[in-house]
Structure 1
Amino acid sequence: MKRGLILMATAVLVAGCGNSGQPAGSQQSQKPAKVTLEWWHLSTAEPLKSLWAQRAKDFEAAHPNVTIKATVLENDAYKAKLTTITQSGKAPDVFVTWGGGVLKQQIDAGLVKDVSGDVAPVLDTFTPAALSAYQFDGKTYGLPTDIGLVGFWYNKQLFAKAGISAPPATWAEFLDDVKKLKASGVTPIALAGKEKWPGHYYWAYLAMRIAGLPALKQAGTDHDFTKPDFVAAGQQVKALADLQPFQKGFLGAGYGTPDGQAATVSNGKAAIELMGQWAPAVQKDAGKGLGADLGFFPFPAVEGGKGSTGDAFGGGNGLSVGADAPPEAVEFVKFMTQMDQHTKAVEAGGVLPVLKGEESAVKDANLKQVATLLAGASGYQLYLDQAYPPAVGQQVNDSVAELIAGTKTAEQVGQDISEVAKSE
């Protein structure tokens, strides 16, 4: 009887063991640990607001152990919050970046993961221009979700009212058109003076057209923004500001707010805004929308300038991964940028192609024009408040805002930016 009990006990013990010799039920310990990913982005307008939320749900469905906690902020609030957390020595698991000098500083601080090995199999699917802002010294620190350029978005109906039959090809023609718009009773330009970064687009483009793209890149090295061509760029910004072309109260205006820059154009209260490829989506979200009356033209040539009109100024958004983020963060970035997911955003008009072969997904006529200009660009300059270190970029924004407001001269703009650049 005792022998029978021993045999039964042995049988139970053997039945309770797997091939590994581990106790039954130990497979539960093999299940992926629960992970919460902190994802920060700034797509507050449609279609990306809903598209990105759906992509997060799709990823969660495919990865049941992962919960994505999104923090969504508008541009200035996003920059401020990201700066605060990175200065404390941390970074979100996944976060939107514009690349350039700001990302490089975060990399140097040890806050961003080198994802080169993880993304190596997919790098060839991206266009080189889209990837360039997120690569340093042969390593990759993010993947792009958008690429584009800044240009003039305008109201065709208001141009016709002012007797303007075609967009200006030169800066002198642009200034003349501003005068024609004013004479017809139309506010020429909407500007988010409170947020400052939209104003720096004017100075940056004029510096590119007058001094040339190499001069801007050289200034990033020698920290000298006082050269005559940079002063000339500031003088042309002042020449524009002296025409008083902006909407009433522009110095206190935001960008995407109900009474801000995008809404002012969208509601037909101003004829032009200088903005990136996302402008149509934000206009539609902030106001009534212009529909077929919305047109686009590139920043014009400056007579006698050294820069090529084929040089583009702009950038895009990318996704980087915090240094301490779990492996699932990298998988999420790859998921967001794979063809079957990303092309949905291109088709919706939310972003422009960053993957080879997406070009046919661009449906909007204006965005097709932007994509064509990008494809033929002779050179590319990242936004100055991202290309340069954060303090330098902020000084560019601040100084140009003061120039537009009439409280700083063109010479002082160059001096102040140079002073900050040399102290970095």
Structure 2
Amino acid sequence: MAATAMAASMTLTLTGCGSGSGDGDVTLKLIAADYGDSEANGSQHYWDELSRAFEKKNPGIKVDVQVYSWKDVDKKVEDLVKDGHAPDLAQIGAYADYAAKGKLYSADQLLSIPTQANFQPSLAEAGEYQRVQYGMPFGASTRRLFYNKKLFAQAGITAPPQSWSDIAHDAQLLKARGVKMPYALPLGPEETQAETLMWMLSGGGSYTDSIGKYRIDSPENIKTFDWLKDNLVGKGLTGADPAKLNRADAFQSFADGDVGMLNGHPTLMKQAAAKGIDYGTVELPGIDGKAKTTMGVADWMMAFKQNGHRAEAGKFLDFVYSDQNVEKFSGDYGLLPVTTSATQDMLADDKYAKFHGFLKQLGNAEFYPANKTSWPLVSKTVKAKMGAAVDPQGNPAGVLTDIQNTADEADNTTG
């Protein structure tokens, strides 16, 4: 890989600007997702400022960035590619299907060696399709358990939970104190696949085994969701029907002071602090103690071959992934940096102390099986079915087996 990357780097140096166009100036088109929660802090502002700085240093290359909501951005890119108008760059949620169809440049065809080597190893590996990196991580997060310190104190709870039995015990005390949602369990259609994976990991399972084969209906996963059904949902400790509770609503309820504890990512810190919530975070509780690992999530940057602007796209991406720009994006939007050097800078800065627990987990975090082209369908199926599995009358084993069958069929069809 090093030899390939060096060859690619030399090619970039030799060809220079305009290599893919045959004439002078080139305009790169980038479709990006919006991480802001209002017009004032939308991602368009970040990209406009970054693009102007890049264009000033590289007068032969223009960058046209269009930002879409997460609800629309993946579909926008999909439609453009289907219509034969692929953007040069896309910063979206999944890359594997485009890589499988041969539509993307690999990372070593685009990036300088120092840039590619600087990605967090766990993130770089998560961006590989058939052992070649096509997805370049852009924005990452890990998950921790958030708890409301005031509500815990009022319920007489002196320490955050470290095991499932602690969660159940503390939730009972919170309920007795009148807390609306002792434990918020968002298994509604918005982001069910995330909450599902967090609980799988805390129970010693996952979506896949060590060689990447789906193991959704494993004994560990069945035990996990049986426990949730019997010990949290069945005892009225979630305060809402998990199948109807979306992650955004659960976060808002935590910020409103109505939730005792829930699994969350770094952006919840800003949301809770804005409402004056005194909160703490701890590693995800497991069956008998802290979970061995947590969930990591990365969004992806990718470069399409169609327009032939490999050299220009690579030059722009080297700029995007400079420490200054990575740290600014992470700081602006409450996400974890995706490069090793920016991570080290953040860990050394007390200003980011509340991020340190999330950052330290990133190297060992487990990600969605986004390198499988079957994953989008499996994720969609999980969103549709997992909430009902933990209903007091639900059947976790039946639901997990049903999803496993869908996953096997999709895997056999798409690879």
What TM-score do the two structures reach when normalised by structure 2? 0.78
Cα drift, residue 112 of structure 1: 2.3
Alpha-carbon contact 2:242-2:387 (below 8 Å) kept: no
Among the aligned pairs, what percent are the same residue? 19
Which residue matches 1:184?
177
- For structure 2, the 5+ residue unaligned runs are 1-20, 411-415
**Does residue 195 of structure 1 match 2:189?**
yes
Segment drifting more, 152-161 vs 42-51 = 42-51
* Amino acid corresponding to residue 284 of structure 2 in structure 1: F
**Does residue 309 of structure 1 match 2:291?**
yes
Which residue matches 1:242?
234
- Give the secondary-structure state (helix, strand or coil) at the position aligned to 1:70: strand
Which digits, 9 at most, give the CA deviation of each residue in 1:357-401, with x for residues without a partner?
3223253333111112335x3xx3213677662111222222212
Which digits, 9 at most, give the CA deviation of each residue in 1:225-260, with x for residues without a partner?
33322211221231322233345576555444xxx2
Which residue matches 1:51?
46
Which residue matches 2:325?
341
Pick the structure with greater CA Rg.
1
* Amino acid corresponding to residue 305 of structure 2 in structure 1: A
Whole-angstrom CA distance in 1 between matches of 2:91 and 2:221 = 31
- Give the secondary-structure state (helix, strand or coil) at the position aligned to 1:154: strand
**Aligned-residue RMSD, C-alpha:** 3.2
- Give the secondary-structure state (helix, strand or coil) at the position aligned to 1:311: coil
CA separation of 1:312 and 1:350: change in aligned 2, threshold 3 A: same
Cα drift, residue 319 of structure 1: 1.2
Which residue matches 2:251?
262
Which residue matches 2:389?
403
1:72-111 aligned within 5 A? 72-74=68-70, 76-82=71-77, 91-98=86-93, 102-111=94-103
- Give the secondary-structure state (helix, strand or coil) at the position aligned to 2:209: helix
- Give the secondary-structure state (helix, strand or coil) at the position aligned to 2:259: coil
Cα drift, residue 174 of structure 1: 0.8
Whole-angstrom CA distance in 1 between matches of 2:156 and 2:77 = 46
CA separation of 1:360 and 1:246: change in aligned 2, threshold 3 A: same
Whole-angstrom CA distance in 1 between matches of 2:87 and 2:271 = 25
Alpha-carbon contact 2:186-2:195 (below 8 Å) kept: no
Alpha-carbon contact 1:105-1:389 (below 8 Å) kept: no
Cα drift, residue 413 of structure 1: 1.8
Whole-angstrom CA distance in 2 between matches of 1:244 and 1:53 = 48
**Does residue 361 of structure 1 match 2:355?**
no
**Does residue 272 of structure 1 match 2:273?**
no
Cα drift, residue 336 of structure 1: 1.4
CA separation of 1:340 and 1:142: change in aligned 2, threshold 3 A: same
Which residue matches 1:8?
none
Alpha-carbon contact 1:86-1:106 (below 8 Å) kept: no
Which residue matches 1:294?
279
**Does residue 136 of structure 1 match 2:147?**
no
Whole-angstrom CA distance in 1 between matches of 2:217 and 2:332 = 43
Which digits, 9 at most, give the CA deviation of each residue in 1:16-62, with x for residues without a partner?
xxxxxxxxxxxxx9973352513221313376734344323333444
- Give the secondary-structure state (helix, strand or coil) at the position aligned to 1:188: strand
CA separation of 1:195 and 1:62: change in aligned 2, threshold 3 A: farther
Whole-angstrom CA distance in 2 between matches of 1:310 and 1:227 = 17
- Give the secondary-structure state (helix, strand or coil) at the position aligned to 1:169: coil
What TM-score do the two structures reach when normalised by structure 1? 0.77
Whole-angstrom CA distance in 1 between matches of 2:82 and 2:272 = 33
* Amino acid corresponding to residue 189 of structure 2 in structure 1: E
Whole-angstrom CA distance in 2 between matches of 1:149 and 1:331 = 29
Alpha-carbon contact 2:123-2:137 (below 8 Å) kept: yes
Q: How many residues align?
A: 376
Alpha-carbon contact 1:234-1:413 (below 8 Å) kept: no
